[in-house]
Chains A and B, each alone.
Chain A
Amino acid sequence: MIGQSRVAELELPGAAIEGASTRPAQSYWNESWERLRANRIGMAAGVLIVIMALIAIAAPLFSAVVTHFQPQTIDLGATFAKPGAPHFLGTDELGRDSMTRLIWGGRVTLGVAFLTVAVSLTVGTGVGMLAGYYGGWLDDVLMRLVDTVLAIPAIFLFILMSILFRPTPISLALIIASVGWGNVARLVRGEVLSVKQRDFILATRSIGARDLRLMFRHLLPNVLPVLIVAASLGVGQIILIEAALDFLGLGIQPPTASWGNMLTNAESYFFHSFWLVIFPGVTIFVTVLASNIFGNAIRDAFDPRLK
């Protein structure tokens, strides 16, 4: 029996006909999370990245407890040691422990990657939002700026910058982000242009919301999915760019270890100490692959139509 009290509390005829939904509240975020969880390979890739990040954060702990070496300790009595105890992944030409350097290098490489993504996302979102929302001359000015930035040959910019400033992880992240934000801005602008046409934006203006609130409280959550996808796919790209710069000697400078600069010298020793190339190379490969797989999984989860 339908509770009579409930019928009585209705003020209006006909309201009971439509009835209440019995489905539990499922937000967009919940549903996306469910889809993501169901994607096992994607989840495995995500977990791998999280583990890498955790190991990188805990690098000093690993140094002290697991490998018992410091990343910059030179031991000329143990150069080119083969993988095995006590150097699990061998040593380089100066006798530095590869595994320790790999872990500390992860700190730098992953740190630069995440910082770069964070900076380009913040700047790109701001610019894309303003351009897309206001349109008109502001859109023209900002988008021509983006065109200009994206037309700069990045590799020459990086070379120039690394001559002007000695690259540290933070300056390197800012340099890479200084061209990376352009693509994010374009992406966000496109998304804002489509979302702002929808009635709920007009409805929100009709209740008296000011522009900033409309943009960042009401519009931004609708753009967030593309940002999350861009972020997760971006990490892999940035790692590759950063590794290339380090390899060329334009990025993080020795003796600080990074995955890229560990390869710089290793190439000369490839034929008698292949592990010096293999381990950093495989680490970069696996991390970028995991980041791309995870990024795709996130995209599929947030926007099943794209699959």
Chain B
Amino acid sequence: MTQALLEVQDLHTVFATREGKVKAVDGVSFELNPGETLGIVGESGCGKSVTALSIMRLQRPGKIVGGKVTFKGQDLTKVTESEMRDIRGREMAMIFQDPMTSLNPVFRTGWQVAEPLRLHHGWDSKKALASAVQMLGRVGIPSAAERARDYPHQFSGGMRQRVMIAMGLTTTPAVLIADEPTTALDVTIQAQILDLLRHVNREFGTATILITHNLGVVAGMCKRVIVMYAGRVVEAGPTTDVFANPKHPYTWSLLRSIPRLDAERHEPLKPIEGLPPSLVDLPTGCAFHPRCAFKVERCSRDVPALQPVGDTQLSACWVTQAGAELKGA
């Protein structure tokens, strides 16, 4: 087995709020192998983004209170802030959900894309800009040399997301974290950006963590997927297996709630009943049990750990760990 590039072990991130401690990330573990694209899915507020931000130690005002993030042999939760700055933007880059607001409105795009090169390689403006222009061309910005002189508001959403990706790639990082990179874009542009991310992954060998709530995106992009619920990983495994034969009722419900072309004509969509739990006041036992169609008595008592279920998958569910199949109306 290959050595993991990035290994997250039992990560805990909390936010102190007036209502109490919010455990946004509550014992998340996974690894990212070199060159792979890993999907993280889950509903809004399940801790996907905070997990990503915690990896880069950008979770402020949240606090990492436990766990390890091992990257190239270093525990990122332990390195100094200045060592962390060296890793951000050089070894790990991040793209955000809303390309409309993630570029600084007062600077020309070329200057912004060149910023990591000036910061990390100490290149002068001219050299950095030349490299930035080249990178803008490579991510599919037409007439990149002229466009580098434009300001962000002169770009469309899709083009801005390309600019963000270019900015992330100038220093050829080992890890690219894409936090809902297509959520704010319309469908045709989504496809283009996903194409670009796939291309980047092949061309640069950049390992990618793709965070999304869109299962279709995961199916098309990722070999492996982890499913998060209420700050925990509830299922993990190869995308094809997880989708074909989910081992956690949450994944099972998610898959049933998306429209399918092969469904019966009048078969209604089946939404997951109820709302995700408040992270301040989690239910006892498995956090999903109040919404779960398969719950047994034990589910409201004990928290299930993530255990192998079947040959390739991991699941945190008492029901499937006991060998039961998820089938139902």
User: In the docked arrangement, what's the CA distance between A12 and B192, Å?
Assistant: 9
Closest chain B residue, CB of each to CB of A30: B151
Report Cα–Cα, A200/B162, bound state, in Å: 15
Q: Determine whether B105 belongs to the interface, using a CB cutoff of 8 Å to chain A.
A: yes
Contact A206 B107 (CB under 8 A): no
A10 touching B142, Cβ below 8 Å: yes
Q: Is the CB of A205 within 8 A of B147?
A: no
Which listed residue, B96, B119, B192, touches A208 by the CB 8 Å rule?
A: B119
Q: Which residues of B contact A210 (CB under 8 A)?
A: 82, 85
Asked if B191 and A208 make an inter-chain contact with CB atoms under 8 angstroms apart, the answer reads no
Query: Quick check: A199 and B90 within 8 Å, CB to CB?
Result: no
List residues 1-56 of chain A with CB under 8 A from any CB of chain B: 6, 9-21, 23, 25-28
**Interchain CA distance A206-B162 in the complex, whole Å:** 17
Residue of B nearest to A136 (CB): B61
- B98 near A199 with CB under 8 A, answer yes
A84 close to B (CB within 8 Å): no
Q: Is the CB of B86 within 8 A of A208?
A: yes
Annotate A158-180 by CB proximity to B: 1 below 8 A, 0 otherwise: 00000000000000000000000
1/0 contact string of A173-204 vs chain B (CB within 8 Å): 00000000000000000000000001110111
A207 in the interface (beta carbon within 8 A): yes
Bound: A208/B56 CA distance, A: 10
Contact of B154 among A16, A23, A205, A218 (CB under 8 A): A23
Instruction: Check if B159 is an interface residue, CB within 8 A of chain A.
Output: yes
CB distance from B34 to the nearest CB of A (A): 21
A185 and B149 CA atoms in complex are apart in Å by 33
A28-B106, A199-B96, A200-B101 known; A206+B88 contact, CB < 8 A: yes
A12-B140, A14-B192, A208-B85 given as contacts; is B149 within 8 A of A202 (CB)?
Answer: no
B50, CB-defined interface residue at 8 Å: no
Contact A207–B116 (Cβ < 8 Å): yes
Of the listed residues A15, A19, A198, the one surrounded by the most CB atoms of chain B closer than 10 A to its CB is A15
Residue on A nearest B158 in the bound complex, by CB: A18
- Considering the complex, which residues of chain B in the window 88-129 have a beta carbon less than 8 Å from any beta carbon of chain A? 88-90, 93-94, 96-98, 101-108, 115-116, 119-120
Partner among A17, A18, A23, A222 whose Cβ is within 8 Å of the Cβ of B104? A222
Residues from chain A with Cβ under 8 Å of B85 in the complex: 208-210
Total count of chain A residues near the partner, CB < 8 A: 35
Q: B58 near A: Cβ within 8 Å?
A: yes
In the bound complex, CA of A222 to CA of B140 (Å): 29
A12 and B199 form a contact (CB under 8 A): yes
- Contact: B167 with A207, CB < 8 Å? yes
Nearest residue in A to B85 (C-beta to C-beta)? Answer: A208
Is there contact, CB below 8 Å, between B86 and A12?
A: no
CB proximity of B192 to chain A, nearest CB, Å: 4
Q: Smallest CB-CB separation from B140: which chain A residue?
A: A15
Residues of chain A with a CB closer than 8 A to B230's CB: none
| A75–B178 alpha-carbon span in the complex (Å) | 81
Q: For the complex, is A77 an interface residue (Cβ under 8 Å from B)?
A: no
Interface centre among A9, A27, A206, A222 (most CB of B within 10 A): A206
Q: Does A221 contact B (CB under 8 A)?
A: yes
Give, as a whole number of angstroms, the nearest-CB distance from A4 to chain B.
13
Contact of A207 with B195 in the complex, beta carbons under 8 Å: no
* Cβ distance B141 to chain A, nearest Cβ, rounded Å: 7
Q: A14-B195, A20-B142, A199-B102 are in contact. Are A209 and B119 (CB under 8 A)?
A: yes
Chain B nearest CB, measured from A26 CB (Å): 7
- Bound-complex Cα distance A11 to B90 (A): 24
- Assess the B90–A208 pair: CB atoms within 8 A: yes
A-side contacts of B142, CB under 8 Å: 6, 10, 15-16, 19-20
A-B contact pairs, 12 of them (CB 8 A): A11-B138, A12-B139, A12-B192, A12-B196, A15-B142, A18-B158, A18-B189, A20-B147, A28-B105, A198-B101, A207-B115, A208-B119
On A, residues with C-beta under 8 Å from B are 6, 9-21, 23, 25-28, 198-200, 202-210, 213, 218, 221-222
* Additional A-B contacts beyond A12-B195, A25-B150, A207-B93 (9; CB < 8 A): A6-B142, A18-B156, A28-B106, A28-B151, A202-B96, A203-B94, A207-B119, A210-B85, A222-B105
